[in-house]
Structure 1
Amino acid sequence: MFTQGSWLNPPKKQAVHASQLHVTTDAHTDFWRRTQYGFIRDSGHFLGLPADGDFTAQIHVAAQYSSLYDQAGLMVRIDEKNWIKFGVEFSDEQLLLSSVLTVENSDWAVSVAPAMPHGFWLRVTVSAGVIRVQYSTDGQRWPLLRLAPFPVAARYLVGPMCCTPERGGLEVVFSQFSCGPALQKDLHDLS
């Protein structure tokens, strides 16, 4: 699956082994638009796979975060002004569940991440102008991370994302990626 996407800002060091994507981040990479800091950054690593219309995508992520703003997860992107990235980010000396929703300007929502020594899973569903983001520490139970309006588009790009704004060298392993029709589960169905 990882061989079918196209890179936005391909990392210098990346490889596909069996069903895993191994990435080492380049220095000073990030996705951000304006809010709080005033700058625009569109230099993060993103492997986008096309999704036509509504969809659900899922991935497993494992990394050893250690520096401020180290981050890895999933991204859904329409263009440089309309996207969301979400996953785990290192900030204030701890791991945080993090999401940045950008519709012209970026917001940032965080909460303390639970223990996840062997990585974590992410799931995103885009359906009828709404984006639903879930995470899992075991691949079985999927608590809600974010629910928000999201622009409707005929085609989205979805796939693994990682950035290191303050350094380079974060090693990330992405695996178990899937993308298919949008799940129509109740908001409180955590399966």
Structure 2
Amino acid sequence: MKRTSVNWREGSWSNEPEHVTIERGILTVKARQGSDYWAHTFYNFRHQDGHALLKEWYPSEAIEVSFSLNTFNNLYDQAGVMIWLNDHQWVKSGIEMNDGVPHLGAVVTNKNSDWSLAPVPDWKNKGVVTVRASFFNHALILRARAGEEEWRTVRVCPFDTDKKIYAGPFLCAPKSSDFVVHFTNWFRTAPDEDLHRQPQ
């Protein structure tokens, strides 16, 4: 399957951001302060006011979203890929600032959220990060890379593929009043062929 760009205008926002522009193929989005996606675990609150640009997604293909890390500075600044089934079942994966360091991680939510993350301090200076989501053997595989380095596996988790799924870029600013993300690409491409084989 040939890698194909998804037009930013094909998606619909789950919640309207504070500001959106598209110029020279770059989607620039300013998040609303206090925006987030989270359900109950540890923090005992539920937020569904983050910003996800969603389009129907088919398990027969993978999606990739790329964005610049240059604007990630404050606690919990985050962006990446959202995979959405319904209000109680969704997954977000990407980069999130934690204690001054960019972290690569995922939040898997099935009524309650499950958060995993790992620091990637060297990615801050590599410019663009790409997050990839694909299905294989009824599992959702999440990967990411900085620049053109090899893909890192972020998470493998169950996800219901028998229902209509939506996916696309997301961002949230739980603390920041001025968090802006520059999304550079949104691709449809061939799905993973194996968990231990690098996607092409």
Contact kept, 8 Å, 2:88 with 2:110, in 1: the verdict is yes
- Aligned pairs for 1:130-169 (under 5 A) are 130-169=139-178
Question: Between the two proteins, what is the percent identity of the paired residues?
Answer: 26
Give the corresponding residue for 2:48: 42
- Per-residue Cα deviation, 1:105-154 (whole angstroms, up to 9, x for no partner): 10100101152221211111024431101111123511211111112233
Contact kept, 8 Å, 2:66 with 2:131, in 1: the verdict is yes
Contact kept, 8 Å, 2:39 with 2:45, in 1: the verdict is yes
Give the corresponding residue for 2:80: 73
Whether 1:92 and 2:99 are equivalent positions in the alignment is: yes
Structure 1 residues not aligned, in runs of 5+: none
| TM-score, normalised with respect to structure 2 | 0.89
| TM-score, normalised with respect to structure 1 | 0.93
Structure 2 residues not aligned, in runs of 5+: 1-6
Picking from 22, 29, 39, the partner of 1:33 is 39
Whether 1:121 and 2:130 are equivalent positions in the alignment is: yes
Distance in 2 of aligned mates of 1:69 and 1:183:
29
- Per-residue Cα deviation, 1:22-76 (whole angstroms, up to 9, x for no partner): 1011110000001111111000010001113443000111132111111011111
Give the RMSD, CA atoms, in angstroms: 1.5
Picking from 106, 113, 126, the partner of 1:106 is 113
Distance in 2 of aligned mates of 1:52 and 1:173:
25
Count the aligned residue pairs: 190
Picking from 31, 43, 57, the partner of 2:63 is 57
